[in-house]
Amino acid sequence: MSLQMPQFKGFTLVEFMVAIAIMAILLTLAVPSFNESKLSSQLRASANDLVASANLARSEAIKRRAIVTLCVSSNGSTCGAGSWQQGWIVLNGANVIYHEAAVPNGFHITAAGGTTTFSFQPTGVDATAGTFTVCRATPIAGDQERMISIDATGRAWVRRTTTGSCP
């Protein structure tokens, strides 16, 4: 009868350390990419929220046969002054149809000409035409931005640009 040494199966300490080092290198490369993806997603969401609000205002104007306004609002109940990133409302007279909260910190929404109010007519046409720029200012100004256009018929759409000139 011979004695056999038990066979241990597993990793050696050296193999384990090499695997940990490889995982650390891969994570170092992947984390910035995930952050960029998250920021890009927030940018897209903010632009799409504004387009959805413009489309809602137009459809409500047609449905109610009354002028419906899309305007800057910091308190969620009245039109105000300031910038679009503080939030906005869709308003019919004194009736708030929809309220959108402020966009995430570090993002800017600017309207061409500093416009703070867009009016949609009951016919669906003769709306206030204008453009918005949605961009990221911090942590660093990214090269991605979204341009939102509202034409004289009240139709709103968004397109991606890479100007990267966030104020």
CATH number of the domain at 52, please: 3.55.40.10
Whether 167 is in a domain gets the answer no
Indicate the pTM of the whole model: 0.77
Mean pLDDT by 10 residues, the chain (167 residues): 69 88 87 74 90 93 93 91 91 92 88 88 79 80 81 88 70
- Going by C-alpha positions, the residue among 132, 126, 157, 117 that lies closest to residue 61 is 126
In the prediction, which pLDDT does 93 show?
87
Residue 109 falls inside a structural domain: yes
Kindly state whether residue 95 falls inside one of the protein's structural domains.
yes
Domain count for the chain:
1
Domain range for 48 is 13-161
> How many C-beta neighbours within 10 Å does residue 148 have?
22
